[in-house]
Amino acid sequence: MISFSDLPIRDDLRGKTPYGAPQAPVPVALNVNENTHPIPDDVVADVLASVGEALKTANRYPDREFGLLRESLAGYLGNGLDASNIWAANGSNEVLQQILQAFGGPGRSALGFAPTYSMYPLLASGTGTAWIASDRGPDFVITAEHAVREITESKPDVVILCAPNNPTGTPLGLDVVEAVYDAAQGMVVVDEAYAEFMPQDAPSALTLLPGRERLVVSRTMSKAFAFAGVRLGYLAADPAVADALRLVRLPYHLSALTQAAAVAALRHSDEMLATVHDIVAQRDRISAGLAALGYTVHESGSNFVLFGGVRDPHETFLALKERGILVRDVGIPNHLRVSAGTAEETGIFLDAMAELARPAASGAA
């Protein structure tokens, strides 16, 4: 047996490690920010019927331009968007990969503000794009002034803003997006994977798209739509962006079954999103419960909570796992992250945390 490093792999990939999150058959899995609420039976029935119809013509290639899906996604997003503004792929990771393939690449760079989604540097590496990790301010906040200073100094070809941020949950003001766009020379991507968990009156970067041809807003059906296993991510941008991504996408990259399932789910968007209110309630319950136990809880606009003051994150992770609970050690000292689950799962997690050792005296990042 040899390792991949023994093969003639690209030099810039040597020493890298793939993305990985623990997967284990535990009763309470709260580590990868999934929507733990089941898809309603009537939605399942409609999806199955739609996929069944698509199977009848599966001997033919799917609609390469996924026109009906793009129309459905535009209708869901509103904001005056139409099908020409939409692009989709197998999860938002593939959407971001295609953006870096088209606008990044060898000799170009992408900038993000760490700690942030761990796939960004991996996607950059896979596309030969240099990754620049700028830092965040106190409590993981990014200010417009700081962002502009970093962009002016680094001059990246792509800027990725996670809003709200993963793994910290930190919301991002539209003033920061506007300032970043004005300062950047290249593409600006706002990753709104968790946007549906923000307050209903919180404005989306979608409102900034008119007149900003280099701005891209990325979304996913994995979280709020409970469609993580289907793999459907998408973006909204100027139609020219979709034209550019056609140059790098694989032929027929979205299967007919994926398209059919997503269109069916979008027909039930109100019902699919009905769990969001409950998930937000459980997120806030987790925050209050952990704060009562003495942990430092960071503001979250997502479906998860990052909390500090953990003496030994790995030890606490293992102690929770022994109790049948998976959370995430995201590598931030003295911190752990937990996804908001059902009311029962939240209760099990908080009871377990109350049983474990008291938090460290300092909860600072």
Q: How is residue 54 written in tokens? A: 């698509």
Task: Please give the span between the terminal C-alpha atoms of the chain, in angstroms, as a whole number.
Answer: 42
Q: Residue 358's pLDDT is what?
A: 63
Final residue belonging to a domain, choices 234, 267, 300: 267
**What CATH number did the domain enclosing 83 receive?**
3.40.640.10
216-229 average pLDDT score:
97
Q: How is residue 288 written in tokens? A: 């209050």
**Which one, of 170, 239, 186, 185, lies nearest residue 209 by Cα?**
239
Residue 196 has pLDDT above 50, yes or no: yes
Check whether residue 59 and residue 28 sit in a common domain. no
Check whether residue 67 and residue 204 sit in a common domain. yes
The answer for residues whose C-beta is within 8 angstroms of residue 315's C-beta and 6 or more apart is: none
pLDDT tens per residue, range 96-115: 999 999 999 999 999 999 99
Question: What's the predicted TM-score (pTM) here?
Answer: 0.94
Check whether residue 136 and residue 207 sit in a common domain. yes
Q: pLDDT class for 359, splitting at 50, 70, 90?
A: low
pLDDT tens per residue, range 252-268: 999 999 999 999 999 99
Residue 365 lies in a domain: no
Average pLDDT in the chain: 95
Check whether residue 166 and residue 309 sit in a common domain. no
Distance, in Å, from the CA atom of 271 to the CA atom of 275, rounded to the nearest integer, reads 8
Residue 2 lies in a domain: no
Residue 66 lies in a domain: yes
Q: What is the DSSP string of 321-346?
A: HHTTEE-B--S-TTEEEEE---HHHH
**How many residues appear in the chain?**
365
Is 183 strand, coil or helix? helix
Check whether residue 306 and residue 229 sit in a common domain. no
**Which one, of 167, 168, 165, 139, lies nearest residue 363 by Cα?**
139
Residue 357 has pLDDT above 80, yes or no: no
Check whether residue 24 and residue 54 sit in a common domain. no
**What CATH number did the domain enclosing 286 receive?**
3.90.1150.10
Final residue belonging to a domain, choices 267, 296, 323: 267
CA dihedral 271→273→276→278, nearest 10 degrees, is 0
Number of domains in the chain: 2
pLDDT tens per residue, range 34-78: 999 999 999 999 999 999 999 999 999 999 999 999 999 999 999
Check whether residue 216 and residue 127 sit in a common domain. yes
The answer for residues whose C-beta is within 8 angstroms of residue 236's C-beta and 6 or more apart is: 74, 77, 79, 81, 85, 86, 206, 209, 216, 217, 219
Helices 144-154, 174-183: axis angle to 10 degrees equals 20
Give the domain extent around 241. 41-267
